[in-house]
Chain A
């Protein structure tokens, strides 16, 4: 199947700093990628839909100025958590669409201290 690579897998940052997470489709081009957030023992919550060459579409309640998404190429989308705070600590997962299927990255565990 198609491979989606997410980097880094784990990151610890200080409160107030920014963190960038990368999502790459390795063997296919993805015009659409998705960013999810997952709290412990909970389901995936869609944060935003990232469209190559255009602005991301954010879900209700997600601050677009805090969670910056850039989809500059057909194989790369980035999520930047700006001015991170402890409440932003979570597991962030990206996925890329290929035809009808969605393939997921390995996830990034963000811890803000």
Chain B
């Protein structure tokens, strides 16, 4: 099986700071990774994804970094805003298999 875990359960930052959320995965055959944002009482919302043939991908204010050597994934949020406060999950998948979710990190942004 595959396990995907996060290093930090809670991350508190000040508004305007950059946030970095980390994730480790165990299955070296995972080839597709996604970051989701989940607000309280809602379903996960897609943020950004990356395939294993890349090591970096940028979106609007977000960047995902993939280090396949150490099986590590990170999500960087630039200029964090109070609206970014949520739980962030990484998920990994091998081929067309089901997604495996990490434990989640709660991001708390103080104004």
Q: Which residues of A contact B (CB under 8 A)?
A: 1, 4, 6, 34, 41-44, 46, 49, 91, 93, 95, 100-107, 109
Q: Which residues of B contact A (CB under 8 A)?
A: 32, 34, 36, 41-46, 49, 89, 98-99, 101-104, 106
Residues on B with C-beta less than 8 A from A91 are 41
**What is the bound-complex CA distance between A29 and B99, given in angstroms?**
19
Of B34, B41, B44, B46, the residue contacting A44 (CB under 8 A) is B44
Of B32, B41, B46, B106, the residue contacting A103 (CB under 8 A) is B46
Residues on A with C-beta less than 8 A from B89 are 43-44
Residues on B with C-beta less than 8 A from A1 are 46
Q: Known interface pairs A34-B98, A49-B98. Does A43 touch B42 (Cβ–Cβ under 8 Å)? A: no
Residues on B with C-beta less than 8 A from A4 are 43
